C-alpha cells in the first residue's frame, strides 16, 4: 500500500463549499481541527455539537455553531434544516460523532426488584446509530440541493478507527467502529449509483482528543498524533472527487488508503475467501430484481 501525500492544491478545491460537521465534542479534537482547516481553505462551516464552542470559535458569516445532541434524530434533522437555510445547501458532511468506551457488555445490572436490566448503549448510540442518522439525512439534503442547482458530487466522511479492523479491548467502542467500516462497505455502491454521493472514512491511530490520555500513552513509548493531522485526511476526502469507498489510516502524520488499495483489507479478504466476488455480484443482482418488481 502506497502512502498518500496530501496536496495543498487538492485541498483548495473546497473553497466556498459548505461543510457540516456533526459530532460529540466538535468544539475540540478532530472536529475542531477539521472545522478550522476548512475555514482556512475558504469553506463555510456549520458545527453541530452538544458542547459549546471554544471562546475563539464564534459565529461569523463563514461559521455557525448549533447546539446538537447527535443521538436524537429530531435534533439532527433540525440541524440539517438550519444548515441548509444558512448557506443554501450542504456539499460535505463529516460524521465525527462518538464517545469513548462505556461498558464491556458483561456487566450485570439489576433494578430494585432484582431483574436484569439492559446494558448501557451510550457509546453504541453516539458512535454507531448517530452516523447512520447523519448519512440518511445527508443524502436527503444533498438530493434536494442537486434538484435546485447543478452540483458536483456531494461527500460524506465517517470517523472509523484503527480499532475498526483489529482486536481492541474496549468492546462497545470496537463494535461501533467495526460498524462504521460496515457502513462504508454496505452503502458505498448505492450512494454512488442512486445519489451521486461519495462515502469515505478516516481511521486514525492514537490521536490527541478529549477521549485519549495522550501523556500516559506517550509515556509507554507509543506515538500520539495531533488532531490537525487527521483533519488533513478528512478534507482530502472532501476535496478529491476521485476518492470513493476509501478508508484513510493515519499514524504519526503519515497516511495510507487501506480499504481498496492493492494489499489492503478488501484485496486480502479476496485472497482468503472462496467465491468472494460472487457475494457482491449476487447481492447487486438481487437488489436490481427487487427494484423492478
State residue 257's pLDDT score. 96
The class (CATH top level) of 3-261 is: alpha beta
The rounded distance, in Å, linking the Cα atoms of 247 and 262 is 13
pLDDT category, 1, cuts 50, 70, 90?
A: low
**What's the whole-number mean pLDDT along residues 94-117?**
93
**What's CA 98's distance to the chain center, in Å?**
9
Instruction: Give me the residue spans of the domains in the chain.
Output: 3-261
Label residue 286 by pLDDT band (50, 70, 90).
confident
Average pLDDT rounded to a whole number, residues 100-117 = 94
- Rounded to 10 degrees, the C-alpha dihedral 30/17/246/130 comes to 60
For 156-194, give one letter per residue: b (16+ CB within 10 A) or e: bbbbbbbbbbeebebbbbbbbbbbbbebbbebbbebeee
Cα distance between residue 17 and residue 166, in whole Å: 35
Structure confidence at residue 293 as a pLDDT band (50, 70, 90): confident
Average pLDDT along the chain:
90
pLDDT at 288 over 90: no
Select from 125, 83, 96, 95 the least CA-distant residue to 29. 96
- pTM for this one? 0.93
Match 472462496 to its residue by C-alpha cell. Answer: 274
**Whole-angstrom distance, CA of residue 70 vs CA of residue 64:** 16
Give the pairing type, strands 63-67 and 197-204: unpaired
Which pLDDT value is given to residue 278?
Answer: 72
Residue 28 has pLDDT above 70, yes or no: no
Across the range 17-45, mean pLDDT stands at 87
Amino acid at each position: 500500500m502506497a502512502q498518500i501525500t496530501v496536496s495543498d492544491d487538492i485541498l483548495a478545491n473546497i473553497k466556498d463549499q459548505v461543510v457540516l460537521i456533526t459530532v460529540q465534542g466538535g468544539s475540540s479534537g478532530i472536529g475542531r481541527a477539521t472545522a478550522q482547516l476548512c475555514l482556512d481553505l475558504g469553506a463555510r462551516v456549520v458545527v453541530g455539537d452538544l458542547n459549546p464552542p471554544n471562546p475563539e470559535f464564534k459565529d461569523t458569516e463563514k461559521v455557525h455553531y448549533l447546539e446538537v445532541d447527535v443521538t436524537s434524530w429530531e435534533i439532527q434533522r433540525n440541524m440539517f434544516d438550519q444548515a441548509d437555510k444558512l448557506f443554501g445547501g450542504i456539499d460535505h458532511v463529516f460524521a465525527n460523532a462518538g464517545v469513548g468506551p462505556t461498558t464491556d457488555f458483561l456487566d450485570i445490572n439489576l433494578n430494585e426488584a432484582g431483574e436484569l436490566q439492559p446494558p448501557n448503549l451510550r457509546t453504541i448510540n453516539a458512535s454507531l446509530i448517530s452516523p447512520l442518522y447523519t448519512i440518511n439525512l445527508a443524502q436527503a439534503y444533498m438530493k434536494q440541493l442537486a434538484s435546485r442547482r447543478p452540483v458536483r458530487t456531494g461527500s460524506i466522511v465517517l470517523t472509523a478507527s484503527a480499532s475498526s479492523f483489529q482486536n481492541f479491548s474496549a468492546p462497545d467502542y470496537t463494535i461501533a467502529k467495526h460498524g462504521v467500516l460496515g457502513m462504508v462497505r454496505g452503502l458505498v455502491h448505492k450512494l454512488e449509483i442512486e445519489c451521486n454521493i461519495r462515502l469515505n472514512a478516516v481511521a486514525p491511530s492514537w490521536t490527541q482528543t478529549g477521549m485519549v490520555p495522550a501523556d500516559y500513552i506517550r509515556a509507554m513509548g507509543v506515538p500520539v498524533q495531533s488532531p490537525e493531522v487527521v483533519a488533513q485526511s478528512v478534507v482530502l476526502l472532501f476535496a478529491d472527487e476521485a476518492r470513493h469507498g476509501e478508508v484513510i489510516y493515519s499514524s504519526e502524520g503519515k497516511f495510507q488508503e487501506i480499504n481498496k488499495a492493492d494489499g489492503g483489507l478488501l484485496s486480502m479478504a479476496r485472497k482468503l475467501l472462496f467465491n468472494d466476488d460472487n457475494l457482491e455480484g449476487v447481492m447487486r443482482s438481487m437488489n436490481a430484481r427487487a427494484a423492478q418488481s
